[in-house]
């Protein structure tokens, strides 16, 4: 659980607190253009991802409670990959978020986790019909990352392609 993990790895709350502080810090134009790979936040994301599967229960709790950290936590979970499968229900929920960019990240994270669960596949299929084109494009990539486990999504993918072509 998240509590036992915090007892085992007390540095994680400090890393999350630092990430939260960085997310809230005002940034100048050059910092706004920086990617997650760059700077202090990127370093924190890489350290958290390096903790792997043991960090996932704690990251799920952060994902649910800290709206300003959702983007970073999705990045961490995606970097953890298949070992983050326990986070799929929380990530699927964010695939329906009101924030376009959070939906893009959530669907992309499902692909990076590579989960073949019916819940994950259904979320990716649903994302093919999202009103925001980057979510649809990310859903196509996510299906490719999931691979053969997403074969039931093929008819939806073909339908989405035909609709996109006709627009």
2-31 average pLDDT score: 70
CA distances from 17 to 1, 48, 56, 124 (A): 19, 12, 16, 31
Per-residue model confidence (pLDDT) at position 7: 57
135-161 average pLDDT score: 85
Reported as half-sphere exposure (CB side, CA atoms, 13 A), residue 63 has a value of 31
Which pTM was predicted?
Answer: 0.82
Per-residue model confidence (pLDDT) at position 28: 65
C-beta atoms surrounding 93 within 10 Å? 14
Over residues 85-124, the pLDDT tens digits come to 999 999 999 999 999 999 999 999 999 998 788 899 999 9
- Return d(Cα 164, Cα 167) in angstroms, integer: 5
Q: Decide if pLDDT at 161 tops 50.
A: yes
- In sequence order, the 6+-apart residues with CB closer than 8 A to the CB of 72 are 19, 23, 36, 41, 44, 45
Mean pLDDT of all residues belonging to the chain:
84
- In sequence order, the 6+-apart residues with CB closer than 8 A to the CB of 48 are 12, 15, 16, 19, 55, 59, 76
C-beta atoms surrounding 28 within 10 Å? 7
Q: Decide if pLDDT at 32 tops 60.
A: no
Per-residue model confidence (pLDDT) at position 93: 97
Residue 137 · residue 127 · CB < 8 Å? no
Per-residue model confidence (pLDDT) at position 138: 96
Residue 87 · residue 60 · CB < 8 Å? yes
Over residues 35-90, the pLDDT tens digits come to 444 577 778 888 889 989 988 988 998 899 988 889 989 999 999 999 999 999 99
């Amino acid at each position: 659980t998240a509590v036992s993990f915090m007892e085992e790895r007390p540095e994680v709350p400090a890393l999350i607190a630092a990430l939260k502080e960085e997310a809230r810090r005002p940034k100048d134009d050059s910092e706004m253009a920086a990617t997650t790979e760059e700077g202090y936040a990127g370093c924190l994301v890489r350290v958290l991802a390096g903790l792997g599967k043991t960090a996932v229960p704690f990251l799920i709790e952060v994902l649910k409670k800290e709206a300003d950290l959702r983007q970073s936590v999705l990045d961490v979970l995606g970097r953890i990959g298949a070992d983050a499968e326990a986070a799929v229900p929380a990530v699927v929920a964010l695939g329906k978020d009101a924030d376009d960019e959070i939906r893009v990240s959530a669907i992309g994270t499902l692909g990076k986790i590579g989960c073949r669960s019916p819940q994950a596949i259904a979320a990716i299929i649903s994302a093919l019909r999202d009103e925001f084109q980057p979510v649809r494009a990310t859903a196509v990539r996510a299906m490719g990352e999931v691979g053969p486990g997403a074969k039931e999504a093929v008819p939806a993918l073909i339908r989405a392609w035909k609709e996109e072509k006709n627009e």
